Structure 1
């Protein structure tokens, strides 16, 4: 069979104007729908800071019970961080007995800040060997309820640690 090359049909390779316009319109609609979601990332990052702090508190409380040794969290408002440490005696030393230091500020956590830390008029939360909050290192005196706040992206969360039970609760005190 012989095919004449001049008689073959001509095929254009490319997109028509209508196809390009349809794609542009669909992308525009997708961008308009998803753009408001990107404004919420700061809120999600602050909530991540909140969840991290609560998780660290409950983990340290469980660690105190598992190891049968006191543990403490020392908040440093100036550095916007806290240090989790062992408490082998009657004092808390963040340089020798530190387990881990967590930085809450910065872009990872939406520039959240720690404020209003109050655990028995100090910035240190101490758990005894049973995981219960106590008034001071080496003490058997139950602590009063203590709390601190995490603030960022127009929201404020108050984290409270109950004195006798060590139960951790979170309350949103400001923001949408």
Structure 2
């Protein structure tokens, strides 16, 4: 017998994005301060790497449980896939900070935070798309398949309420 938690639908794109911003953005802002706090004791690149690993693990758990409606812990596969998108985000923040160092001889902490958070925000939008359409999409598909086989009436209702997929993100004009 399914529980109410396993029958819950995945949130729509807008709701998921708001949750992603709250969870991922909150972790990201905390991470930026953690990197700044750790950087004086080591290189900025190493501080960013350590904080990126820790924040990715935390954010993936939050996204699995809350953002994308899975309601359970992230799987090892989801953590690995999420780590791939986080690696790209790490490269993007490092590149942004490297360019800043090339352009400004001695940037202040505020400018560093603005550049870091801007790069993180751009990487975050890309990560949202990857997590929603790839990493946590399979869980939604399996859940929908279970609901379709459980009850034809509820499956018809769920199909009409479910997001239309990638095409819904970019409707034709």
Q: Fold-level match, TM-score > 0.5?
A: no
- The structure whose RCO (Cα within 8 Å, separation 6+) is larger is 2
Structure of greater Rg? 1
With normalisation by structure 2, the TM-score equals: 0.31
More strand as a share of residues = 1
Structure number having the greater helix percentage: 2
